[in-house]
Structure 1
Amino acid sequence: MPKNGAPTRTRILDAAEALVIDHGYAATSVDDVIAASASSKGAFFHHFASKQALADALVERYVAADLEMLDSGLAAARAAGPDPAVRAVAFLDHFVGLADGLMGEQSGCLYAAVLTERQLLTSQTSAPIATAIRAWRDGFAALLREALPAGSPIDVDDLADHVFVTFEGAFLLARSTEDPSHLRRQLGVLRALVETALAAGPQEERR
């Protein structure tokens, strides 16, 4: 019996998430999940009708946690004061501060593992991920629209998407180089780029 007393469903999801992130969905079997979670086949199928149902549950849980993280960043931005530029930078500072802890908790991102699996892309499993990506874009874009100087040539949505791109790219860099500091460092680079964009005036018209 597991010593941590976690409910069986949570224990199965925890084990499956780690396996899928490390090895991919196709390479992770139900038997692998059962063994890693110290569970049984009966317990697995009591909670999940199929491996596909497990994937759906994994993504649903991961997206919920991801959106909570987004909300924490938006709360940090609001707490930074009335200056829109300060709020936009505070949003990124929040995640710079969390980066090393996040990298210590997981070796990669479930989104990348799911989005590279053709089987999951052709199902509805990936749809909540698209919803989460849009939420991150919309949340940071709202801060940027208030903060960018009038006449800025920057596409706000494109710049906002760099938060997601930075997280995913940094996980890949960290895995390939075995250096978990990449997330903190790349978020720092993004912070500097955003600060530069916020300080720049409108682009001069070309003659």
Structure 2
Amino acid sequence: MPKDGSLNRERILDAAEKLVIENGYAATSLDHVLRAAGTSKGAFFHHFGSKLDLARALTDRYVTADITNLDAALDATADVADPAARVVAFVRHFEDRADEIMSGQSSCLYVAVLTERQLADAGTADLINTAITAWRKGIADLLTEAATAGGLELEDVDALADHVFVTFEGAFLLCRSTGSPAHMRAQLGVLRRLLAAALGVAAA
């Protein structure tokens, strides 16, 4: 283990993320986190000043990973020459990885955090807005380029970009409520076909 204890910190965050997603922040006690992480209170307070501090760090890490996933999808589709086809390929990038996404987690941390008034008031909502803004800009830029290249008029690009983000969140809820991870792939497939139709490009 590194001398700075970074592996121990990540183990605590990993345990807390799973517990908060599964049970909610209020129902996840510090003792629950310590048991799941296999660590002590001393180790916990070496890295976090409080349970609320842990929640902020957890959200910050999740947001960073979320934006990294966005950037990875943009990079992976950067060589698609047709802007409209790139929009479709962008969604397909996640659709093809839907099973992997759902095997890693059963729901989204954003939902668990935003339903807790204490966390929202403590600034975690601002962290989440950072991710939402990044997704909106990234997707809106793709849509604008596609509309310009195709001579199309999209009524509200920002709202359409938000719809892409909302589809992910809604799919998480649908998977969680039904107990079936298959809904993530299905919903992304529907989104891909709708965007393809709007942009006048093949959905495949």
Match of 1:192 in 2: 193
Q: CA deviation at 1:162?
A: 1.4
Measured in 1, the distance between the counterparts of 2:113 and 2:70 equals: 20
- From the superposition, tell whether residues 6 and 97 of structure 1 become closer, same or farther in structure 2 (CA, over 3 Å): farther
Q: Which has the larger share of helix?
A: 2
Question: Per-residue deviation at 1:153?
Answer: 4.2
Q: For structure 1, list consecutive stretches of 5 or more residues without a partner in the other structure.
A: 201-207
3-state SS of the aligned residue for 1:124?
Answer: helix
User: What is the root-mean-square deviation in Å for CA atoms of aligned residues?
Assistant: 1.5
Decide whether the 8 Å contact of 2:107 with 2:172 is kept in 1.
yes
Matched, 1:29 2:29: yes
**Higher RCO (C-alpha under 8 Å, 6+ residues apart):** 2
Tell me which residue corresponds to 2:157. Answer: 156
How far is 1:199 from its partner? Answer: 1.2
2:67 aligned residue: 67
Report the secondary structure of 1:55's partner residue. helix
| Distance in 1 (alpha carbons) for counterparts of 2:87 and 2:7 | 39
Runs ≥4 in structure 1, deviation > 4 angstroms?
Answer: none
Check conservation: 2:167, 2:188, Cα contact below 8 A.
yes
Aligned mates of 2:95, 2:124 — CA distance in 1: 29
Deviation by residue 1:13-65 (Cα, 9 ceiling, x = unmatched) = 00000000001111111111001111111111111110011001001110111
1:31 partner letter: D
Q: CA deviation at 1:7?
A: 1.4
Deviations 1:116-139 (A, max 9, x none): 110011111221110100100110
Q: In the alignment, what sits opposite 2:102?
A: 103
8 Å Cα contact 2:152-2:199 kept in structure 1: no
User: Are the structure 2 counterparts of residues 83 and 151 from structure 1 closer, same or farther at C-alpha, using a change threshold of 3 Å?
Assistant: closer
After TM superposition, give the deviation of residue 151 of structure 1 in Å: 4.7
Secondary structure of 1:122's aligned partner: helix
Cα distance in structure 1, aligned partners of 2:164 and 2:179: 21
